[in-house]
Amino acid sequence: MKFIYKLSFLAAFFMLFTACEDDESLVVQDQESVFTANNGDVSNLSLNFSYPENPATTVTFTGDEEGPFTIVLSADPEFTSTVTLGTTQTSSFTVSVANLNTTLLEIGAEPFKEFTFYLRGESASGNTEALIYTATTYVEADPELNAPVEGSSIVLDNSTLEDTAATIAFEDFDTEGATVSVNYTLQATLGGTEFTAPQEITANSNDDNFTTSFALTHQSLNTIANLSGIEAGETGDLDFRLLATITTETGVLERTSNLQTVSVTTYVPLNGPRLAVPGPHQDGGDPSFGQWNPDENENVAFVPYLEASATGETDYEGFVYLTTEYKFVTPDADGNFAWGNVDYGDASGSLAYTQQLTADGEGNCATPDGEGYYLVNANTTDLTYSAQKTDWGIIGFATTGDDSGWSQDMDLTFDRASRTWSITLDLSVGEFKFRANDDWGTNFGLASDGTLEFNSSTNMSVSEAGTYEVILDLSNPRNYQFSLNLL
User: Higher-confidence residue: 7 or 240?
Assistant: 240
306-331 pLDDT tens trace: 999 987 889 999 999 999 999 999 98
Residue at 119 is within a domain:
yes
Tell me the C-alpha to C-alpha distance, in Å, between residue 344 and each of 36, 277, 352. Answer: 77, 10, 13
pLDDT of residue 302: 86
Cα atoms found within 13 Å of the Cα of residue 2, Cβ hemisphere only: 7
User: Picking from 24-33, 178-187, 256-265, which range would have the lowest pLDDT averaged per residue?
Assistant: 24-33
Residue 36 has pLDDT above 70, yes or no: no
Let me know whether 168 and 196 are in one domain: yes
110 and 155 co-located in one domain: no
CA within 13 Å, CB half, 60: 10
Please check whether residues 339 and 278 belong to one and the same domain. Answer: yes
Q: Is 367 helix (H, G, I), strand (E, B) or coil?
A: coil
- Count CA within 13 A, CB hemisphere, residue 287: 0
> What average pLDDT score do residues 295-302 get?
78
In a domain, 312, yes or no: yes
**Domain identity same for 229 and 196:** yes
Angle at 66 between CA 62 and CA 68, to 5 degrees: 105
**Same domain (yes/no): 250, 287:** no
Flag whether 373 is in a domain. Answer: no
Task: Find the mean pLDDT for residues 285-293.
Answer: 77
Whether 190 and 119 share a structural domain: no
How many CB atoms neighbour CB 110 within 10 A?
Answer: 17
pLDDT of amino acid 63: 65
In this predicted structure, which of 114-128, 199-213, 390-404 has the lowest mean pLDDT?
A: 199-213
Q: Select the more confidently predicted residue: 108 or 39.
A: 108
Cα–Cα dist 194/188, whole Å: 10
Q: What is the pLDDT of residue 141?
A: 97
Q: What is the pLDDT of residue 62?
A: 67
**Nearby residues of 351 by Cβ (< 8 Å), 6 or more positions away:** 325, 363, 364, 365, 366
| Residue 13 scores a pLDDT above 70 | no
SS3 state of residue 414: strand
CA 337, CA 360: separation in Å to the nearest integer? 18
Is the residue at 103 inside a domain? yes
For residue 269, name the pLDDT band (cuts at 50, 70, 90).
confident
Domain that holds residue 451: 392-486
**Residue 36 resides in a domain:** yes
Per the domain annotation, does 430 fall within a domain? yes
Mean pLDDT throughout 381-407?
Answer: 97
Predicted local distance difference test score (pLDDT) of residue 92? 75
Do the beta carbons of residue 143 and residue 257 sit within 8 Å? Answer: yes
Last residue within a domain, chosen from 221, 240, 265: 265
Return the DSSP state at 128: P
252 and 282 part of one domain: no
Q: What is the pLDDT of residue 69?
A: 83
User: How many domains is the chain built from?
Assistant: 4
> For the residues 443-465, what does the mean pLDDT come to?
91
The answer, yes or no, to whether residue 408 has pLDDT greater than 80, is yes
> Are 346 and 256 in a shared domain?
no
Is residue 104 classed as helix, strand or coil in its secondary structure? helix
User: Any idea which of 40-54, 412-426, 427-441, 464-478 has the lowest mean pLDDT?
Assistant: 40-54
Same domain assignment for residues 63 and 35: yes
Please give the C-alpha separations between residue 167 and each of 214, 217, 235, 336, in angstroms, as whole numbers.
Answer: 6, 9, 19, 39
Q: Residue 169: which residues within 8 A CB-CB, separation 6 or more?
A: 145, 146, 147, 212, 213
Residues 12 and 111 in one domain: yes
Query: What CATH number is associated with residue 216?
Result: 2.60.40.10
Any domain includes 374: no
Which residues are within 8 A (CB) of 173 and not within 5 positions of it... i.e. 6 or more apart?
110, 111, 112, 139, 141
Q: How confident is the model at residue 405 (pLDDT cuts 50, 70, 90)?
A: very high
- DSSP letters, 211-279, are -SEEEEEHHHHHHHHHHHT--TT-EEEEEEEEEEEEEETTEEEEEE---EEEEEE--PPPP--EEE--S
| Last-in-domain residue among 321, 355, 388 | 388
Single residue among 324, 357, 388 that ends a domain in this structure: 388
The whole-chain average pLDDT of the chain stands at: 86
Question: 191 and 116: one domain?
Answer: no
**pLDDT tens track for 184-211:** 999 999 999 999 889 888 877 777 777 8
Predicted local confidence at residue 65, as pLDDT: 67
Determine the pLDDT at residue 30: 36
Range with the poorest average pLDDT among 60-64, 199-203, 247-251, 336-340: 60-64
Whether residues 149 and 128 fall in one domain: no
pLDDT above 70 for 8: no
**pLDDT confidence band for 340 (50 / 70 / 90):** very high
Shortest CA distance to 202 belongs to which of 160, 179, 230, 168? 168
Q: Is 330 inside a domain boundary?
A: yes
List the one residue out of 109, 121, 91, 94 whose CA is nearest residue 13.
94
DSSP label at residue 464: S
CATH code, domain with 10 = 2.60.40
Q: What percent of the chain is modeled with pLDDT above 70? A: 89
Q: What is the pLDDT of residues 457-472, one digit of tens each?
A: 999 999 999 999 999 9
β-strand partners of 431: 461
